[in-house]
Structure 1
Amino acid sequence: MWLPLLVKRLNQVDMQKKGLQLTAEEIYDINNASLKDAIVQFGGFCTGEFISKEGLLLTNHHCGYDAIAARSTPQADYLTNGFWAASRDKELSNPGLFVDILVRMEDVTGKVLEGINAQTPEAERAKLVSERMKALAAEAKGPENYVTYVRDFFAGNEFYLFVYERYNDVRLVGTPPNAIGKFGGDTDNWMWPRQTGDFSMFRVYADANNKPAAYSPNNKPYQPKKHLPINIGGVEEGDFSMVFGFPGRTQRFMTSEGLKLAVETSNPARVKLRGKRLEILKADMDKSDAVRLKYASEYASVSNYWKYFQGQNAGVKRMKTVEGKVENEAKYNQWASADANRKAMYGNVLADINKGYADQKEYTLSQVYLGEAALAPAAAKFALNFVPLQKALKENKADDIKKATDAIKEASKEYFEGFNVPTDEKLFAAMYQMYYNDVPKSQHPDIFKTVETKYKGNWNKFAAEAYKKTFLTSPEKLNAFLAKPSLKTLENDLIFKTVNSVYNNYLTNINPKLQAARSSMDKATRLYIAGLREMQSDKVFYPDANSTLRLSYGSVKDYEPRDGVHYSYYTTAQGILEKEDPKDEEFIVPQKLIDLIKAKDFGRYADKNGELPVNFITDNDITGGNSGSPVINGRGELIGLAFDGNWEAMSGDLVYDKDYKRCINVDARYVLFVIDKFAGAGHLVNEMTLVTTPSPNASTASTSAEAAKADVLENVKPAVDSKTKVKIKKEERKAKAKMKK
């Protein structure tokens, strides 16, 4: 996950050996248009890319899911039926949605650390660093009022400034129905092979000067400095691939004790809590379309990481990551002890880090259950908005009361859109029951004693009374309270009382202990990573992901996840028909798509064999936040759209798996096929720049030997069942072995 600013110095030569035909300046340049100008951070949580000179933006279906769900109603259900704007005036606005476009990044390490050395007390260092980061960001805002921030890298060994332009007028242009955009659902999530059309399209609008502006019907489509041409010439194994986007968080420098804490304590707790949430949500969503639409986005988000944490644990165990870390840490200590100066600097850092994790372990469940249980019910999370009002009412400050009530009114708009009282009550009872049962009693908030004594520990009974009496269940009740807010009424509301008790208990009794443990680790972690880089001075290190723009380069590549199983690097539309199941909502296929596939009516989007490619895999390094990132070939053309990782490498946030790591992508040809042939929205394709230059490996693939290989494999296609468990046929294994010889 490389910083594009440093590509020329660190990566260009290696990238060109692998097939890159661009210069470093064509990837990142602040004076001239470059690839970085075509990439945006979408909504602060995903990635998108411009695919036309008229601001047309491509991202994942699951990245646009919130916006699509918000614009959907039972009468106009865009999630189920899809949506395609026939003209610009039909494109749908999305209040609150924004994109950030990078203006520049700058290494400011020298400015942040000026005058700071090994003798600087840690508290003074932290204060100086924080003040300088804020000052540099404020200075960079300039008259344009850019969005700016400074982020630390390598645990505070380096610092970089990032400057963005934020555009707030982002309109929905098109989305396929769930049956395409989410084909395979939870069953296929994190799995390969896939046949999912995970894409949606938006358009960014700007004022008459092409600058950021609030939504206005007078705004014009944004004209990007750079947009990506789309290559429909084909993708072959071994092709160069580059993923350009905003990976969220990785922790690959974490020590063995940190891994143990995640694998043995926090991950199992998250899986348990999310599993119960999914069970409750699914039961109510299946009973009502209105409830389904309210919770569709939340369900998808909860499910995604419910499965992720399971895969992460499985990957860490399979790779024996903890054991590998222990071995490497022993080598580190040996290296540090071999020199008096190194021993003084680095000799105790691992011991200090491991003590910090040991101190955290006692309170880890309290931390996990706060976010995953206590704040899981919508009413409980919304109730936190009333803490400032409570303070203002106690102090009887009219201005602060008005400010707090105005903030609550604004927050309530989104709250009531995704809220169903019976569902939330069930969540409240279940989540707090689990919190009560699983978190050590010595760390319980005071409200739990009330439930024990007054309600005999019956959380269902407590929840029923809380939701019956609260003013948080309807706009009418809420507005009546806010018109004349009363401290007594607020503090007697059982939902607020519960959340306030849990929150105060965490702030007073839990968080200080966690922060103390982490603070004691900060210096040790910074020195540990500095020592690693010194110890392996011949190695080029990349920093952990932190939601800043990165690129990953690799190639299109198949893999063999276990003995006797081979996964091809691509899938076709035939796999959609093989998985199709009209009785399973995850594998329903629209009739029009079935008809197009059976007729092989793929138009110019078919491959050289007349098939329609759907998904393909590369060995690019991605994580959360990379969703929607463009997959770019060696000529700087879009060939696909990253949307998922594979189950075998779910440990990726903690350790990179060089053998199994795969990035799952929607083939650009399938995206265009759905827009053009399925949706009939060819006018959108017409504004894109399409190229048909074949893959650089296409000529190799057409030689007689490779043609023979293709013929053999065509006749022994692996069977695919509806749960994506592909087992290679005996004949294919023999054929492959024979061709290798």
Structure 2
Amino acid sequence: MKANLKSLLVAAVLISSIFNFSAKVPDEGMFPLSELSRAGLKQAGLKISEKDIYNPGQIGLVDALVQVSGCSGSFISPNGLVITNHHCAFSAVQLASTPEHNYLENGFVAHSRQQEIEAKGLTIRITDSYEDVSDKILSAVAQVSDPVERIQIINKKRKELASDAEQKDPSIKAEVSEMFIGKSYVLFRYKTIEDVRLVYIPRQDIGEFGGETDNWVWPRHTGDFSFLRAYVAPDGSSAKYSKNNVPYQPKKHLKINPKGVDENDFVFILGYPGRTFRHRPYQYLEYQQQYLLPFTSELYDFQNQQLYNAGKNDKAIELALATRIKRNANVMKNYRGKLKGLRNIDLVKQKQQEDQALAEFIAKSLDLKARYGTLLQDIDAHYKTVFTDAEKELWFNNLYSGIRSIHIARLLNSFKDALAKYPAKQQRSKIFTLNIAKVKEQLEKIYESYHAEADKNIAKHQFALAYQFKDQNTVSTIQRKNFSNVEAAQAYIEKAIDQSRINDKNKLFSEVLNDAESLVAYQDELLTLQKQFAEEIEPFSTELIRREGVLNKLMADYVAVKETFQSKNFIPDANSTLRLTFGYIKGYSPADATYMTPFTTIKGLIEKGNSGDAEFRYPEAIKQAWLAKNFGAYYKKEIDDVPVNILYNMDTTGGNSGSPIMNAYGELIGVNFDRAYDATINDFAWNESYSRSIGVDIRYVLWIADKIDNAQFILKEIGI
């Protein structure tokens, strides 16, 4: 399949920097850098100039910001030291760990640069510059009405512009990000650093204190931080891991303020928020509430049960599956929080009422009626089509990520097809030799989190789901096999996996991938099944591309007329590009007769540990230091303790993990890592009364580094 089916319908939306907006008090919004002067930062409490944050052609705080794979982070020393979240480095720590050297469980402190460990799989990306290219893209489709042709031209033009930018400057990677669907596009230029190393990772019972029980929950007591370092070649160019590489020297690094903040202090965040979907019609939220959120959360819950069982008696398997389990669990709880939020505030009904008011507004204007008279009906018709086969779409979205055996079968079939194009043995052998290393590298990545027994159970579950689909949700590949009942469908996929060489990596590599002829000759039921799925997916994928084209035009019109209706431009939605949000250190009342204060303490951490729950274990050294009142310079008088986590009313979402929390002077006072459970709905709607984000207080980071982990090498480098 050429593209993830999910991505064809769920496109990112975010306002372009060509729009103007203002916020004299903290409000929802993740502001583009070019509009900081209009964001009302000085009135809100910023003590430095907006130009100290971002000033084109000059060095500002934004030059200290990085994207760490799917997270944010910031440089905090002139020698490429980066602070981000523990969970953002989790996969690299897992890959570096073995049962003998379990850095995931025991943590890791490099006391010199020579001791720093390669962070496999992590890259660092820095925003170099950006420009609006909306006119260049939209002019190419000005006369195009066919939705498939329109979206194909737009996507082609985006790739062309990015490619042109990279040819002009080979040192950058370029992307054209869609801001508002079908309406505005911005070309971003990024510098990428490929050599990233682990410097200081707290032990798991600090970095993950509270586990999944506390995930998306306040009060929180998690030391969700880690330190990495960026390395480049001696000439300053990006290079893969090498002992000859040297620490990267950033244009700017953040100053750490070890005094932290107080309640009601002004704070702001710079980072790379993922995606929000606040400018969608009510039917989009119906799709989320009825289909995507419940289907995905329930499926991930089942997958994790199987993965947990696979590793519970084997430490090596547990480590191998840890990242997959953590990612599943995080999404699962997030989606369930969103479901709760959607139902609690009846957001679908609210949006439906907004769209009804918009329809009445259009009907009262002859000009608007002429241009947008059928817009809302067309949107409704689009989503009615989406709803008819939503289950099948979601099932296919999770086919390869869920059933890893079929994912491996897809790679093998693809390689076999490439070899089959060459009739001569000698030619096939040559192509095989040229490509086998890359194929094995791709397979190794899948096998890192593969477990045959768990995979069979997950496959049986997904086949049971598909067997019961009806009407347009029917998965034809499964229905054509005429299974007598659901148990027969499950027995079929279990047998197919059992009898395939795929379930044993060593056999697959030594017997099937030994040479070109061994691979071409190899066949089993699993490979045949994957081909059948691919044949079914192809026309369905084409239909989803058509729908994406339809939606592209509808959403452009929807946003345009809503701007007229509301007499204002919209606060930005997020799309993984660099943004600023601001607010205050502030508690809230999540339920009747409750008030949550904005600081947690070491005392609270110890109290949770008294429960005896394994997720609330913590190092004994923390308790001993606390009892001895060995707080050092990190003590906060108002709470008579060291603050652990902080709460604030800034507008954050996925991707803001690891974002630096800065005070009014642009000094780092914490690291963002989560939202309160009620704020998981931020992706669809932000509200000051319940939207709260969570960060680790820099005083706790420094206290742990100083008093618990003896990370003096780090403290000296950051000037503490």
TM-score by length of 2: 0.90
**Counterpart position of 1:370:** 396
**Counterpart position of 1:352:** 378
Task: Give the letter for the 2:598 counterpart.
Answer: Y
Write the deviation string for residues 509-545 of structure 1: whole angstroms up to 9, x where unpaired.
x3333333332222111100011112223x3423321
Alignment pair present for 1:88 and 2:113: yes
Match of 1:280 among 297, 302, 306: 306
Stretch of structure 1 that moved more, 130-139 or 109-118? 109-118
Stretch of structure 1 that moved more, 149-158 or 126-135? 126-135
Task: Give the letter for the 2:104 counterpart.
Answer: L
CA–CA separation in structure 2 for the residues paired with 1:285 and 1:584: 20
CA–CA separation in structure 1 for the residues paired with 2:182 and 2:550: 14
Q: 1:490 to 1:248 in 2, by over 3 A?
A: farther
Alignment pair present for 1:329 and 2:355: yes
**Counterpart position of 2:273:** 247
Write the deviation string for residues 409-448 of structure 1: whole angstroms up to 9, x where unpaired.
1112223332233332332223333333346586224255
Secondary structure at the counterpart of residue 343 of structure 2: helix
Match of 1:72 among 73, 97, 109: 97
Residue 221 of structure 2 contacts residue 644 of structure 2 at CA under 8 Å; is this kept in 1?
Answer: yes
Task: Give the letter for the 1:169 counterpart.
Answer: D
Moved over 4 A (4+): 114-128, 399-404, 438-442, 453-456, 485-491
Q: 1:167 to 1:678 in 2, by over 3 A?
A: same
Alignment pair present for 1:185 and 2:214: no
Q: 1:130 to 1:276 in 2, by over 3 A?
A: closer
**Counterpart position of 1:541:** 570
**How many Å apart are 1:584 and its aligned residue?**
2.6
Alignment pair present for 1:500 and 2:531: yes
Q: 1:486 to 1:365 in 2, by over 3 A?
A: farther
CA–CA separation in structure 2 for the residues paired with 1:127 and 1:433: 36
CA–CA separation in structure 1 for the residues paired with 2:688 and 2:175: 32
Write the deviation string for residues 463-501 of structure 1: whole angstroms up to 9, x where unpaired.
145224324422343232122345997773233333332
CA–CA separation in structure 1 for the residues paired with 2:644 and 2:223: 7
Q: 1:463 to 1:448 in 2, by over 3 A?
A: farther
**How many Å apart are 1:121 and its aligned residue?**
6.5
**How many Å apart are 1:273 and its aligned residue?**
0.9
Secondary structure at the counterpart of residue 398 of structure 2: helix
Residue 197 of structure 2 contacts residue 229 of structure 2 at CA under 8 Å; is this kept in 1?
Answer: yes
Task: Give the letter for the 2:452 counterpart.
Answer: V
Gaps (5+ residues) in structure 1? 691-741
CA–CA separation in structure 2 for the residues paired with 1:455 and 1:436: 6
**How many Å apart are 1:87 and its aligned residue?**
0.8
Secondary structure at the counterpart of residue 100 of structure 1: strand
Alignment pair present for 1:481 and 2:512: yes
Residue 141 of structure 2 contacts residue 154 of structure 2 at CA under 8 Å; is this kept in 1?
Answer: no
**How many Å apart are 1:583 and its aligned residue?**
4.4
Write the deviation string for residues 270-294 of structure 1: whole angstroms up to 9, x where unpaired.
1221111121112222222111101
CA–CA separation in structure 1 for the residues paired with 2:110 and 2:471: 54
Alignment pair present for 1:575 and 2:608: no
**How many Å apart are 1:507 and its aligned residue?**
2.1
Match of 1:560 among 565, 583, 589: 589
Q: 1:300 to 1:662 in 2, by over 3 A?
A: same
Secondary structure at the counterpart of residue 209 of structure 1: coil
Secondary structure at the counterpart of residue 402 of structure 2: coil
Match of 1:28 among 54, 63, 66: 54
Residue 472 of structure 1 contacts residue 478 of structure 1 at CA under 8 Å; is this kept in 2?
Answer: no
**Counterpart position of 1:412:** 443
Alignment pair present for 1:135 and 2:160: yes
Match of 1:668 among 685, 691, 698: 698
Stretch of structure 1 that moved more, 431-440 or 385-394? 431-440
CA–CA separation in structure 1 for the residues paired with 2:600 and 2:74: 24
Task: Give the letter for the 2:614 counterpart.
Answer: E
Secondary structure at the counterpart of residue 565 of structure 1: coil
CA–CA separation in structure 1 for the residues paired with 2:451 and 2:133: 48
**Counterpart position of 1:626:** 656
Alignment pair present for 1:53 and 2:78: yes
**Counterpart position of 1:658:** 688
Stretch of structure 1 that moved more, 374-383 or 314-323? 374-383
**Counterpart position of 1:734:** none
CA–CA separation in structure 2 for the residues paired with 1:455 and 1:359: 28
Task: Give the letter for the 1:10 counterpart.
Answer: R
Residue 170 of structure 1 contacts residue 203 of structure 1 at CA under 8 Å; is this kept in 2?
Answer: yes
Secondary structure at the counterpart of residue 230 of structure 1: coil
Match of 1:302 among 311, 318, 328: 328
CA–CA separation in structure 1 for the residues paired with 2:600 and 2:707: 19
Gaps (5+ residues) in structure 2? 1-28
**How many Å apart are 1:380 and its aligned residue?**
2.4
**Counterpart position of 1:269:** 295
Superposition pairs for residues 660-739 of structure 1, below 5 Å? 660-690=690-720
CA–CA separation in structure 2 for the residues paired with 1:191 and 1:246: 22
CA–CA separation in structure 2 for the residues paired with 1:561 and 1:127: 46
Task: Give the letter for the 2:385 counterpart.
Answer: D
Q: 1:494 to 1:326 in 2, by over 3 A?
A: same
Match of 2:412 among 386, 396, 412: 386
Match of 1:10 among 20, 24, 38: 38
**How many Å apart are 1:114 and its aligned residue?**
4.3
Stretch of structure 1 that moved more, 618-627 or 190-199? 618-627
**How many Å apart are 1:133 and its aligned residue?**
2.7
Secondary structure at the counterpart of residue 117 of structure 2: coil
CA–CA separation in structure 2 for the residues paired with 1:495 and 1:394: 19
Task: Give the letter for the 1:72 counterpart.
Answer: S
Secondary structure at the counterpart of residue 94 of structure 2: helix
**How many Å apart are 1:655 and its aligned residue?**
1.5
Q: 1:477 to 1:252 in 2, by over 3 A?
A: same
**How many Å apart are 1:393 and its aligned residue?**
3.9
Secondary structure at the counterpart of residue 559 of structure 1: coil
Residue 614 of structure 1 contacts residue 667 of structure 1 at CA under 8 Å; is this kept in 2?
Answer: yes
Task: Give the letter for the 2:635 counterpart.
Answer: A
CA–CA separation in structure 1 for the residues paired with 2:248 and 2:605: 36
Task: Give the letter for the 2:114 counterpart.
Answer: D
**Counterpart position of 1:713:** none
Residue 455 of structure 1 contacts residue 461 of structure 1 at CA under 8 Å; is this kept in 2?
Answer: no
Q: 1:555 to 1:469 in 2, by over 3 A?
A: same
Match of 1:258 among 275, 284, 289: 284
**Counterpart position of 2:467:** 436
CA–CA separation in structure 1 for the residues paired with 2:470 and 2:713: 57
- C-alpha RMSD of the superposition: 2.4
**Counterpart position of 2:6:** none
**Counterpart position of 1:196:** 222
Secondary structure at the counterpart of residue 666 of structure 1: strand
**How many Å apart are 1:93 and its aligned residue?**
1.0
Question: Quick one: percent identity of the two aligned structures?
Answer: 31
Residue 374 of structure 1 contacts residue 502 of structure 1 at CA under 8 Å; is this kept in 2?
Answer: no
Secondary structure at the counterpart of residue 63 of structure 1: helix
Write the deviation string for residues 60-109 of structure 1: whole angstroms up to 9, x where unpaired.
11110000000000000111100111110110113432111111122222
Match of 1:237 among 263, 266, 272: 263
CA–CA separation in structure 2 for the residues paired with 1:442 and 1:42: 38
Write the deviation string for residues 118-157 of structure 1: whole angstroms up to 9, x where unpaired.
8877666545544443333223222343011111212122
**How many Å apart are 1:367 and its aligned residue?**
1.6
Secondary structure at the counterpart of residue 562 of structure 2: helix
Write the deviation string for residues 532-580 of structure 1: whole angstroms up to 9, x where unpaired.
112223x342332111111111111110011101100110111111100
Alignment pair present for 1:607 and 2:632: no
CA–CA separation in structure 1 for the residues paired with 2:141 and 2:220: 51
CA–CA separation in structure 1 for the residues paired with 2:690 and 2:374: 35
**How many Å apart are 1:674 and its aligned residue?**
1.2
CA–CA separation in structure 2 for the residues paired with 1:637 and 1:439: 57
Q: 1:29 to 1:495 in 2, by over 3 A?
A: farther
**How many Å apart are 1:657 and its aligned residue?**
2.3
